[in-house]
Amino acid sequence: MKKYSILLLLFMAVSTFNFRPLVRTINLYEGETVSLELKENLTSGIAKVGDIVDLEVTEDVVINGVTVIERGTAAKGTVTQSQRAKIAGQKGKLDFTINYVKAVNGRNIRLSASQSAAGKDHTVGVIAAAAIVAVPLIFIKGKDITMEKGKEFTVFVAKDYELNL
């Protein structure tokens, strides 16, 4: 009986404690860098405005010894401009924003960066050549732009976050 009384007292004592998991708050500040790479080729002749751009984190983001964004985490962007190369040597255009990445606790972290590139522009040379040589040269097409899979970007956290990890 004494054994059960001790167990009962022990149980009551333990049940009065408020067991909370250990939570650490980490501040992730605006401007913290995040390194990303493209997961697939992105071409101005193929991509359409609104298409999702898949990227991946290439290095852990560590604050005060705690990883807040892990290497290999997916990041998402959106194509904001895509134009095929045109006749008369006009280059292709491609622009996209890098929107967000997930922290280790699952929270979306907004990123700030807009990457853009343009194909080689032949406009002046084509028009000059067409004026000197012949009218058919005006139909020389410019080049589309392609951002290769694996191209790296450094982007920035867009605002301050308080992360409970």
pLDDT tens digits, one per residue of 98-144: 899 999 999 999 998 744 444 443 334 444 444 444 444 445 546 77
Class of domain 26-164: mainly beta
Higher pLDDT residue, 21 or 39? 39
The whole-number average pLDDT for the span 28-36 is 92
Per-residue CA distances from 48 to 43, 84, 88, 121 (Å) = 9, 10, 22, 21
The contacts of residue 68 (CB under 8 Å, 6+ apart) are 26, 28, 61, 62, 103, 104, 163, 165
Q: Which two tokens stand for residue 106?
A: 């699952």
Provide, rounded to the nearest whole percent, the portion of the chain with pLDDT above 90: 39
Would you say the pTM of this structure is higher than 0.85? no
Q: For residue 165, what pLDDT is reported?
A: 82
Helix extents (H) in 46-133: 123-132
Residue-wise pLDDT tens digits, 10-22: 566 555 555 555 6
Q: For residue 22, what pLDDT is reported?
A: 67
What is residue 75's three-state secondary structure?
strand
Longest dimension (CA), the chain: 111
Q: For residue 111, what pLDDT is reported?
A: 92
The whole-number average pLDDT for the span 43-56 is 90
The whole-number average pLDDT for the span 2-9 is 59
Among 61, 50, 71, CA closest to 157: 61
pLDDT of 42 > 70? The answer is yes
